[in-house]
């Protein structure tokens, strides 16, 4: 019977509100929110009828469980966004439910005894080639580097002889995830890395003397533009075309948001 609340639901704007926002809204218009949890379970007003269980969040695993079966790594970016004051929303800074919850656990904001329920979903096609001499090309954006880290770890541990290439796109230099870890592998000849910063006039250059990535002045660019640079495009073409065409027939992996994945597929077609 609340017109503003109905407008929120009808416009699918639930993500513009927090639960406490809704309780305050109801209270300000004369409804006693305590009725939500004093009602008998099953009643239309019971809070479990109104607030449904959270849906599963899917995160790529950043580690190789066969190396350490008691430990599992995730690479999680905290979601933060701003809502605006409209008829169906209220101005405030918001945080993503799943990423904030996990970040709270990771930084000690919750008791160490607290557990997280998980289930492992095996993607049908995101697997390393059985032939360890086959090269791989990994294209990732932001926290999409997560599964690439696990692929690289397994390749290094298994002594794979195929070349490992990582093309990584992120917004700023501070978002260069696993920078030191990747630099160590580049220095050992186990990995090749190209990085593009979309909002930072900078470039990442590996320094053989220091065995680190130096951040030097450069041009802000998206990863697609980096891949279309003549040297990278030629390399990519030689890597992914089949042996019958004189190429390496490398396996190709892409991880990122849907728009990013579509953009990368179009870039590969252009190459």
Alpha-carbon gap, residue 174 to 186, rounded angstroms: 19
Q: Does pLDDT of 3 surpass 70?
A: yes
What tens digit of pLDDT does each residue of 17-40 get? 888 888 888 898 888 989 888 988
For the chain, how many residues are written? 271
Token pair for 186: 């580049």
Residue 249 has pLDDT above 80, yes or no: yes
- Measured at the alpha carbon of residue 250, what is the angle toward residues 245 and 256, in degrees to the nearest 5? 130
**Mean pLDDT across the chain:** 90
How does pLDDT run across 43-56, given as a tens digit for each residue?
Answer: 888 888 777 777 88
Q: In what order do the strands lie in the sheet with 192-197?
A: 192-197, 164-170, 136-141, 251-255
Query: Can you tell me whether residue 181 is helix, strand or coil?
Result: helix
Answer for the pair 137, 165: CB distance below 8 angstroms, yes or no. yes
pTM recorded for the entire structure: 0.83
Spell out the alpha helix ranges (H) of the chain.
3-10, 19-28, 35-38, 47-50, 97-106, 145-158, 179-187, 223-227, 230-240, 258-270
List of residues 6+ apart from 59 with CB closer than 8 A: 74, 75, 76, 146
Using one digit for the tens of pLDDT, what is the confidence trace for 185-238? Answer: 999 999 999 999 999 999 999 999 999 999 999 999 999 999 999 999 999 999
Beta bridge partners of 141: 169
Which two three-digit tokens encode residue 102? 């996990």
110 contact partners, CB below 8 Å, separation of at least 6 = 104
Which residue is listed with tokens 């230099």? 173
Distance between CA atoms of residues 149 and 140, nearest Å: 10
* pLDDT given for residue 125 in this prediction: 83
């Amino acid at each position: 019977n609340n017109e503003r609340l109905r407008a929120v639901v009808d416009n699918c704007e639930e993500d513009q509100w927090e639960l406490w926002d809704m309780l305050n809204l109801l209270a300000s218009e004369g409804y006693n929110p305590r009725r939500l949890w004093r009602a008998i379970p099953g009643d239309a007003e019971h809070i479990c009828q109104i607030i449904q269980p959270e849906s599963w969040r899917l995160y790529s695993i950043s580690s190789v469980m066969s190396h350490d079966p008691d430990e599992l790594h995730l690479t999680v970016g905290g979601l933060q966004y701003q809502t605006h004051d409209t008829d169906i929303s209220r101005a405030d800074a918001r945080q993503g439910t799943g990423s904030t919850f996990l970040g709270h656990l990771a930084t000690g904001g919750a008791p160490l005894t607290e557990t997280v329920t998980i289930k492992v979903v095996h993607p049908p096609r995101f697997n390393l080639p059985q032939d360890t001499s086959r090269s791989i090309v990994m294209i990732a954006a932001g926290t999409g580097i997560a599964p690439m880290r696990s692929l690289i770890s397994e390749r290094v541990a298994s002594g794979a002889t195929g070349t490992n290439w990582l093309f990584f796109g992120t917004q700023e230099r501070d978002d260069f995830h696993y920078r030191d870890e990747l630099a160590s592998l580049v220095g050992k000849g186990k990995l090749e890395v190209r990085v593009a910063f979309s909002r930072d006039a900078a470039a990442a250059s590996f320094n053989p003397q220091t065995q680190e990535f130096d951040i030097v002045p450069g041009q802000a660019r998206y990863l697609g533009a980096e891949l279309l640079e003549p040297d990278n495009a030629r390399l990519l073409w030689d890597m992914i075309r089949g042996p019958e065409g004189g190429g390496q027939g490398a396996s190709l992996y892409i991880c990122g948001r849907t728009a990013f994945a579509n953009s990368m597929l179009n870039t590969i077609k252009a190459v």
